[in-house]
Amino acid sequence: MRGHPGPGGGDPRGTAAVAAAWRTARSSVPPGHLDAAGCNVPSDRVLDAVVGHLRREREVGGYGAVADLGTARSALAALVGAHARDVAFLESGTAATAALLGGWRLAPGSRVGHIRTEYGSTLMLLRRLAAERGIRLVEVPVDGDSRVDLDALREVLAGGLDLLTVPHVASHRGVVQPAREIGRLCREAGVPLVLDVCQSLGHVDTGGIGAAAYVGTSRKWLAGPRGVGFLIAPGLAGPGGGSQEGGRNGRESADGFGPAGADGLGREADGLGREADGFGPTSADGLGRVMDAAAPSLGGHLWVGGQPSPLAGAARYESAEASMAARSGLGVAVLEHHALGPAALRARLAELGVTARRLLDGAGGWRAGEPLDEPSAVVTLRPPPGADPVAAVEEAGARAAAASLLVGTVPVARAPLDMAAPVLRVSPSPGAEEESLHALARILAGRPVSA
């Protein structure tokens, strides 16, 4: 184990070493697992934390086994340069998005920006809000890779928006949106940005963006358990929530997380949060007025003067009755992520993604759905021209499975504005063996798997 590098420290670990360490943390990994974007492989310590918490609940009673999630919150928040108090745990990325956007106070006629790669369930929610509350949806133009066109965004922002939602990396396309630039333009225009980091947290750099809120999920690139999602809302500090002044760059600090003890980690995360606070597009008060919970709950609200009143910070969104075992497991996964080194993990994933596209693009006529050098490990493949895409994707997935390779198939409903046909998705986790990618290339090319 390396020593604690301190805030801003680089990550000395190379990509081969981080891949080996990732494998070592797992006593078994399904050999051909290439579906981290669907559901990653949790480590032994993550499983132990989940089972350990369930045991404690049995031994001392469910409500007696209090999970200390403070360190988990700090470590998670540090990935976007925020505080522990900005984190709310929910049951999925979808639940977090519904709590956040469903509860956003948007007057009739409000304009909500989105892009065509928007995740299917978020789009459904936006459409419902538009229909029921008289909100106008404004699509921000993208380029041929479905990457946000920053000049067009500038124009849309100048025309007036009340909120912008963007998936940092989509489920069906491995393009990394220019989130820092989007964040900067939104802050300059005073427009709150909600960044969907379900496919980007733990995968690509999520520091230095300064969004009003982030929604994410445990089981994908953070390799936590299923059944946990979260939102991080740094703009809601509220009374007693600390100052809103501070530095501007959460990125380097967030990477400074080392394999320190829980105590050191908590302290450091606190400092990190203060560093990053200056980001909010409006004051905590301003955002607090528009951000409330969709469904006020006893866990997240108090009765004040006969009225439900949201708690300060992101706590207003958190579900109180939940799998604390799964939340504990996510906490361990996030600490492991920091211990392995976020920068080294990102470099490893970018390397695997580029390797995968170079090997797979063109195999049997399948084509990569993003630029070959895109620095992400979400690799999508479109069926050969002339093939029935639904059947081709299904059949390729089945042939891969028969060869013990687990890949994803992404239906059109996942991103209905951006997809005309389903795609095959290859998303290696950091410990993936390149041989799995070679084997998949042979399958797509119709060659014997063991050639």
Closest separation in Å from C-beta 259 to ligand PLP: 27
Regarding 94 and contact with ligand PLP (CB under 6 A), the answer is yes
The full length of the chain comes to: 451
One of 125, 170, 175, 293 touching ligand PLP (CB under 6 A): 170
Of 170 and 344, CB closest to ligand PLP: 170
Give the nearest distance from C-beta 76 to ligand PLP in angstroms: 15
> Closer to ligand PLP at the Cβ: 146 or 253?
146
Token pair 């789009």 is found at 123
Residue 436 interacting with ligand PLP (CB under 6 A): no
Burial class (CB in 10 A: 0-12, 13-18, 19+), 402: exposed
Total residues binding ligand PLP (CB under 6 A): 12
186: tokens are 């939104």
Distance separating alpha carbons of residues 379 and 407, to the nearest angstrom:
10
171 scored as a contact of ligand PLP (CB under 6 A): yes
The C-alpha angle with vertex 108 and arms to 103 and 111, in degrees rounded to 5, equals: 80
Nearer to ligand PLP, 49 or 201 (CB): 201
Judge contact between 223 and 46, C-beta under 8 A. Answer: yes
The letter for the amino acid at 379 is: V
Does the footprint of ligand PLP cover residue 92 (CB under 6 A)?
yes
Look up residue 399 and give its amino acid: R
Closer to ligand PLP by CB, 325 or 415: give it. Answer: 415
Query: With binding defined as CB under 6 A, does residue 427 bind ligand PLP?
Result: no
Query: Which of 42, 178, 183, 229: binder of ligand PLP (CB under 6 A)?
Result: 229
Phi, psi of 434 (to 5 degrees): -65, -25
Residue closest to ligand PLP when measured from CB atoms: 93
Min separation Cβ 213 and ligand PLP, Å: 14
Q: Which of 93, 178, 207, 331 binds ligand PLP (CB under 6 A)?
A: 93
Using the minimum distance from each CB to ligand PLP, give the nearer residue, 200 or 253. Answer: 200
Q: Does 369 bind ligand PLP (CB under 6 A)?
A: no
Query: Minimal distance in Å, beta carbon 119 to ligand PLP?
Result: 4
253 binds ligand PLP (CB under 6 A): no
Should residue 279 be labelled a site residue for ligand PLP when binding is judged by CB under 6 A? no
- What single string gives the DSSP state of each residue in 356-425? HHHHHTTGGG-EESS-TT-SSS-EEEEPPTTS-HHHHHHHHHHHHHHTTEE-EEE-GGGSTTT-SS-EEE
119 binds ligand PLP per the rule CB under 6 A: yes
**Residue 90: Cβ within 10 Å count:** 24
Give the nearer residue to ligand PLP in terms of CB position, either 378 or 441.
Answer: 378
Closest approach, Cβ 92 to ligand PLP, in A, equals 3
Q: Which is nearer to ligand PLP, 237 or 330 (CB)?
A: 330
177 binds ligand PLP (CB under 6 A): no
**Binding to ligand PLP (CB under 6 A): which residues in 189-208?**
196, 198-199
Of 91-99, 260-268, 298-306, 317-325, which part binds ligand PLP (CB under 6 A)?
91-99
d(CA 224, CA 98): 21
With b for 16 or more beta-carbon neighbours within 10 A and e for fewer, the 52-70 pattern comes to bbbebbeeeeeeebebebb
8 within 8 A of 381, measured Cβ to Cβ: no
CA–CA distances in Å: residue 76 to residues 112, 147, 177, 227, 276: 27, 26, 21, 16, 14
Name the minimum Å distance from CB 419 to ligand PLP: 13
Residue 81 within binding range of ligand PLP, rule CB under 6 A? no
CB of 167 to ligand PLP, least distance (A): 4
Q: Is residue 167 a contact residue for ligand PLP (CB under 6 A)?
A: yes
Is residue 275 a contact partner of residue 246, using CB atoms and an 8 Å limit? Answer: yes
Q: How far is the CB of 170 from ligand PLP (least distance, A)?
A: 5
Q: Give the CA distances from residue 340 to residues 4, 35, 255, in Å, rounded to whole numbers and listed in that order.
A: 12, 20, 10
**Residues paired with residue 382 on neighbouring β-strands, in sequence order:** 367
Binding site for ligand PLP (CB under 6 A): 92-94, 119, 167, 170-171, 196, 198-199, 217, 229
